[in-house]
Structure 1
């Protein structure tokens, strides 16, 4: 039953990863939080375990998603190259910051952030991207990557919630922004997952079937299914209009945001 649950989570998260370029983390985290709670894990580390495991699974979903986007020529690889160094350093640092925050505080932070991004995305759903705008120079992109990496690790996501709006704001159309965001999720996920394993081990956290704050069985089960469904999500992303993608993305973030704020308050 446990394996079936992880496979189901992977199927849903993988599709979201390809569709929105969010790595599926925004779906994985709340579901894992519920699953780990019912499995009787220590409440003090459940949120951290969900975040670390989410980032680990995004390694696989990002590979699957970006492969599909690359075949359509939508990934802006020069932009990825500029952002990547900052993403790696920022993600590792972000994992360390998340490690010292309490579970309820993490829930409130993630919830408020998700609602803010949802508002921004929905507000701009009908606003066309100004393609006359251009991304800043490489050094500035690397700094922005650092900020995105820190936030993404704290939130346990692939960075789509920040990368996509950032690219949109600087003249990148939605489909290419989603595709490039999917690529950026890989360095975020690798560095972030390593960080959660490292800092979890430093805290001498002992969780069955886990390395630090990464649950191995959940990682395997979710990754297997998400690798398959991420490609389907990426195909759908190229069928839907940019406005529709933004609206769907905003609705997803609103639901997750409200859930985490509620959990943070009652805990």
Structure 2
């Protein structure tokens, strides 16, 4: 292997290892994780090590979705065993979420990285505002709306989540709690939703990225295998560190810090696209 490839590989490995550690700490601190942490960190890390800007966001999204397949499986199963997954809602939402994922995958696979970056930036700003200004949110209604609004919500969650490289929690939990869903049930159901999003999303990322120039070393389509192998164990290792810190820090202040991180991330991504 040429020396330059080894240098690139070492830089890539260190960047991805750092991504996993940061994602794990934040997940342990705030009970969030998945793509909402991994995608922006990958975006910055890939930029720092000089990956082709035209594929950075596609690879960040694809790699994130692949990691969610692995980590989300154990999370969803753990919630299911504890009765934390609303199986009836999952059955009703599976089809509209899957349709949303298919549409979002087709759109995401055919648009530029700038469009994906803008989508992530806008939604990150919305999630940031939700976390910062709705500390004790009141439900919008006592239960989820009926057909077709309920199905439309599932479609939106699936479509935007797969384009952003995130699981079901970032959009699913806030939407469910808006309709008076118990938070634990919402988190568990969203974990299961994440698999409906991540599995076809990761396969789509492999398909659309096959043979594209400029991808990082050892990428299968838009899924970077080095990232897949390093992010998962690093995030699992670091999550308890974050959880330990969470018991010594003010949760409300932590949420505000994370909201600030998302706000800055969203603004930075939009500014990269617009300016």
TM-score (norm 1): 0.81
Which of these residues, 137, 144, 156, is aligned with residue 165 of structure 2? Answer: 156
CA spacing shift, 1:87–1:71, aligned 2, 3 Å: same
CA spacing shift, 1:261–1:60, aligned 2, 3 Å: same
Q: Deviations over 1:242-262 (max 9, x none)?
A: 977865663443232123123
> How many angstroms apart in 1 are the aligned matches of 2:18 and 2:41?
10
CA spacing shift, 1:84–1:166, aligned 2, 3 Å: same
CA spacing shift, 1:41–1:139, aligned 2, 3 Å: same
CA spacing shift, 1:127–1:140, aligned 2, 3 Å: closer
**Structure 2 unmatched ranges of 5 or more:** 1-9
How big is the shift at 1:185? 1.1
How big is the shift at 1:89? 2.9
> How many angstroms apart in 2 are the aligned matches of 1:235 and 1:190?
31
State yes or no: 1:45 paired with 2:52.
no
State yes or no: 1:114 paired with 2:121.
no
Match of residue 4 from structure 2? none
User: Greater Rg, structure 1 or structure 2?
Assistant: 2
> How many angstroms apart in 2 are the aligned matches of 1:244 and 1:71?
32
Q: Is the 8 A contact 1:168 1:177 kept in 2?
A: yes
For the aligned residue pairs, the C-alpha RMSD in angstroms reads: 3.3
Match of residue 179 from structure 1? 188
Paired positions, count: 263
CA spacing shift, 1:233–1:147, aligned 2, 3 Å: farther
CA spacing shift, 1:20–1:235, aligned 2, 3 Å: same
Which of these residues, 203, 206, 212, is aligned with residue 205 of structure 1? Answer: 212
Match of residue 90 from structure 2? 80
How big is the shift at 1:25? 0.9
> How many angstroms apart in 2 are the aligned matches of 1:176 and 1:19?
20
> How many angstroms apart in 2 are the aligned matches of 1:238 and 1:135?
33
